[in-house]
Amino acid sequence: MLKIENLQATVADKPILNGVSLDVPAGEVHAIMGPNGSGKSTLAYVLSGRPGYNVTGGSVAFDGRDLLEMEPHERAAAGLFLGFQYPVEIPGISYLQFLRESLNSQRRLRGEAELSAGDFIKLAREQAKLLEMDAEMLKRPVNVGFSGGEKKRAEMVQMGILQPKFALLDETDSGLDIDALRIVGEGINRTMRSANKGVLLITHYERLLEHVRPDRVHVLQAGRITRSGDIELARELESTGYAEATA
């Protein structure tokens, strides 16, 4: 579903990705771990099309299409979802308004009918309930006054509403307590665990992986994948760190 070959990228003319190759088939969840500054978030931003992240080599195919030739909104409409390490606050726009416009803009680009206000409210309430989140919070401005855990739950509500084909989740476990970690992990599994979807989960820690149970774990260091394995690799890293993780 997502095939990355020798991907190279710079930020402010500084090389960050130095030849990343990775294949995430449909139906699988892959995790990327690595030390600070290794290029994990840069990889997510390059794949999502964030301005200022310049690809200098390599290729990315998503669901049979050239991802790098697509604009960010086209990538989203094609089914690519980015979960932020630090979800942004948007004062003046309610979360419900934001979510409905996000969903309907994607449906328009795909040639699908927009969801009515009533149907959307029902969908949003259902998704909030699944994440054990008070639906009244969605009437507030986007992420304004939300705790770290509430922001991440709201992001999982968004993912449940949009139903993407592929999710890039950048340190979704950041700021979560034990209960929120379980709830978010269940949300990832519920929304994304299917034969025609995929996940690339970026994390520093093994704890979320115990809930999500990835098919593969990769170590990213200095802009390259240096080692791959199963969840036992994540457990090893938890105890030994990254010094021994090179190929």
pLDDT at 175 over 80: no
Structure tokens belonging to residue 58: 């390599």
- What would the pLDDT profile of 118-166 be if each residue is shown by its tens digit? 999 999 999 999 998 998 999 999 999 998 888 988 999 999 999 999 9
Residue-averaged pLDDT of the chain:
92
- Compute the average pLDDT of residues 170-197: 90
Structure tokens belonging to residue 80: 């690519």
Closest CA to 175 of 217, 146, 214, 139: 146
Per-residue pLDDT, 247: 47
Per-residue pLDDT, 242: 81
Structure tokens belonging to residue 217: 């774990």
- Residue ranges and CATH numbers for the domains of the chain are 1-79+164-179+194-247 (3.40.50.300), 93-163 (no CATH)
Whole-angstrom Cα distance, residue 162 to residue 139? Answer: 18
Question: Which residues, listed in sequence order, are joined to residue 168 by a DSSP beta bridge?
Answer: 82, 200
Per-residue pLDDT, 124: 95
CB 37 within 8 Å of CB 44 = no
What percent of the chain lies above the pLDDT cut of 90? 78
Per-residue pLDDT, 86: 84
Phi, psi (rounded to 5 degrees) for 201: -105, 120
Per-residue pLDDT, 206: 87
CB 156 within 8 Å of CB 187 = yes
Amino acid identity of residue 180, one-letter, is A
Q: What angle do CA 88, 223, 75 make, to 5 degrees?
A: 45
Whole-angstrom Cα distance, residue 199 to residue 25? Answer: 9
Per-residue pLDDT, 245: 57
Per-residue pLDDT, 42: 95
- Compute the average pLDDT of residues 99-121: 93
pLDDT at 116 over 70: yes
Q: What angle do CA 128, 197, 153 make, to 5 degrees?
A: 25
- Top-confidence residue, 205 or 63: 63
- What would the pLDDT profile of 12-37 be if each residue is shown by its tens digit? 999 999 999 999 999 999 999 999 89
Q: Judging by DSSP bridges, how do beta strands 90-94 and 80-83 pair with one another?
A: unpaired
Question: Using 50, 70 and 90 to split pLDDT, how confident is the model at 85?
Answer: confident
Question: Using 50, 70 and 90 to split pLDDT, how confident is the model at 246?
Answer: low
Structure tokens belonging to residue 93: 């726009």
pTM more than 0.75:
yes
Task: Output the CA torsion sign for 127, 131, 213, 203.
Answer: positive
- DSSP class of residue 170 equals E
Whole-angstrom Cα distance, residue 215 to residue 30? Answer: 6
Closest CA to 184 of 216, 156, 217, 225: 156
Per-residue pLDDT, 12: 93
What percent of the chain lies above the pLDDT cut of 70? 98
pLDDT at 243 over 80: no
Per-residue pLDDT, 186: 92
Amino acid identity of residue 45, one-letter, is Y
Per-residue pLDDT, 205: 82
Per-residue pLDDT, 74: 93
